Structure 1
Amino acid sequence: MNFDFDAGFDDDTTQMRDMVVRFARRELASPGCFDDAGDFRRRWRLAGKQGLVGTSVPGEFGGSGLDAVAAAATMEALGYGCADTGFAFSVAAHLFAAVMPVVEFGTEEQRGAWLPALSSGERIAAHAVTEPEAGSDALRLHTRARAVDGGYVLNGSKCFITNAPVADVFVVQAATDARGGFFGLTTFLVQASTPGLTVGRPYDKVGLRGSPTADVHFDDCPVPAGAVLGAEGAGASIFSSSMKWERTCLFAAYLGAMRRVLESTVEHARNREQFGSPIGDFQAVSHRIVDMLGRYEGARLLLYRAARSLADGGADEIGPALAKIAVSEAAVQLGLDAVQLRGALGVLDGEAESLLRDALPARIFSGTNEIQKNNVARALGLGRRRPVARR
């Protein structure tokens, strides 16, 4: 097995993918845990010079202008070449959850002010939506934005915010209508240096340890009217759009990590001998590897189908949800299988146990897999309470 596989990519995308793999292997090696903000930014700037943090940003604002398929291919290559899946996750979260909302909903002034630096690696963005009591129920946020002369004042707290310890700007979802509902949320672009904004200590996580994560607090934090992204009340629409990008293109990084571990597992099965034969000769081992490959390939097909729909401007809600479910579940199971097939070596520090730890959060972030199933059922016209016929 090698990385030379076809997903209908054109020559430019194939060459770009191979270049990203070589770059990531050469420049993005790290211990795989966030403990040095300076080194994190050093690698981030390198990734920016390579075009990785702005792949889907239009060229006029310093990005590469790639569509969703090519952007997913880039993230897959990054996940394959960079053994620090947490770093790849941070890049993808920055781009798809925080930068793409500015691309799609920002004013010309907002785009010009933020996108060039966010695309070059000079600045880092974070998407602040999750709260202690509003994770899956994103329409009932407790963070409030109170209108005042010239703008708003934010009060509240966010938790589990990817890139928070290193972010220069936050894309913040807050309630401008206390009654909640679809039109009760508004999105703000808030600079990290704004008075009243504080970031907590980085979390010590089980997985994605190379991705810095922390809480964010707003205490009478002033934001000007020009910091509103889209329009007041458009927050839910902006959030939904960003999740389509995230549930599709971000999860491509996991495909790359899965492929990397799958290849090393095959190599291990070919070379590890027990009872006088390579363990790959045993049917229990070979069949498990075939199952690993099948899950990987099936998840990959779903993801790129969703990416193609997104690139074509489709309004598909089912595709991104199914892709997110398939990739995350396949990554967890592939990690379990890779650990099992390595025996005692699998529970030592290495890429098999790292994939498993990094995959576990994938079933939770971007909307839990249970919520994704609810979304798919709702799109199919299921899960609604049927009115009772009156007699």
Structure 2
Amino acid sequence: MNTAGHTDAHGLDLIPFRGVRYIPERVGSLAAVTSPPYDVVVRPDGLLHLESADPHNIVRLILPQATTPAARNQQAADTLHSWLAEGILAPDAEPSLYVYEQRSSDMLQRGIIGALRLSEAEDGVVLPHEDVMPHVVEDRAALMRATSANLEPLLLTYRTDGESGPTGAAPVVERTALREPLLSTTTEDGFHHRLWSVTDPAELAEIQSDLSRHQALIADGHHRWATNLRLRSEHPSPSAWDYGLVLLVDTARYPLRVRAIHRYLHRLPVADALAALGDSFRVRTVGGPLGHALDALGEAAAKGNAFVLAGDGAFHLVDQPSQGLLDRTIPGEYPAAWRTLDATVLHATLLDHVWRIPDTPDHIAYIHDTAATVEKAERDGGTAVLMHPVREEVVRDLAQQGVTMPRKSTSFGPKPATGLVLRDLSF
């Protein structure tokens, strides 16, 4: 993101920590104990797949299974403590920042994992771009209270000019990536992961001095950020709770992908969804397969608000909303870039006004995988609402204006694999 407004005195404050990592000899494989972030593991079959991949899969900590929330959180705490006692997990010998690399056939991403001093929203050092749901924050906070650990990092982006001198974060990252890694593994999604520690005081100082001149955008982890802020407010400062676990990526050097997060409407059949639109939107049936429908969505979204509804065996392109309807349903006090977001139109116009669906888990599911969203709709009889991605520049510009988007408006990636390095607040 644009850092022209930062100041040397008040930027990112990233410090080393003693990372807690799996001992490779004690698990089947490092790949088998990792997981996507907790909010990406949305389907029961996905959770079961991870649980059965290895008895020590990290999902047993981030999504513990028990009959009550209190029991789940206690189970996660007990599991973490037992794995540490048994030597399944162990803290590194000295505090480190960690260089983390993700590589696929068509993408390379490198960033720095560390403990970031938590700033208040008004500080403008870390910029959120999406709203959060209080019940999710409370759920995550209860888990963190029980475990006293940061189990997975937030994904934050910062933006340099892409040029680097002989010192700074970028040169340290690139030099470190030439060394022998602490770990190397390939997960089933095809991404190859490598992790290195940075402990040299001079290199740590280079990274910290460079980052202190920047602000960051939350790319993934808004609920975890809000959770960190809440827990920090509950503990006297100074303490380990003043910091949270983050992965920082310079998107001038390593641009992230921005993908859409789709909606599944549990209780609204496609026929009812289409009937409620009346003549307030243009509706066209487009041919499959799914890729063709997404291409049509992309073409329509380039000209204005557009969505694809699915679940009845067909794909329905919904676009060209009535301007009068938009004027009546979208708050006028926000910037034009916010008022014209697809997510804004979906929530303020379609969900709130046309379909009258509350934004609660029993009515709406947020699903990252496009095909999985369609499959669920066709299997369960609801409506899949497929979205087109928002451009990163729009996200950044709104965040810098202090304007948050509707929650789950974007999916930045690739997301860091959960389970490669944890932060136990007792170390």
Q: TM-score range by the shorter chain?
A: under 0.3
More helix, by proportion: 1
TM-score by length of 2: 0.23
RCO higher in structure (CA 8 A, sep ≥6)? 2
Kindly indicate which of the two structures has a greater share of residues assigned to strand: 2
Q: Report the TM-score when normalising by structure 1.
A: 0.24
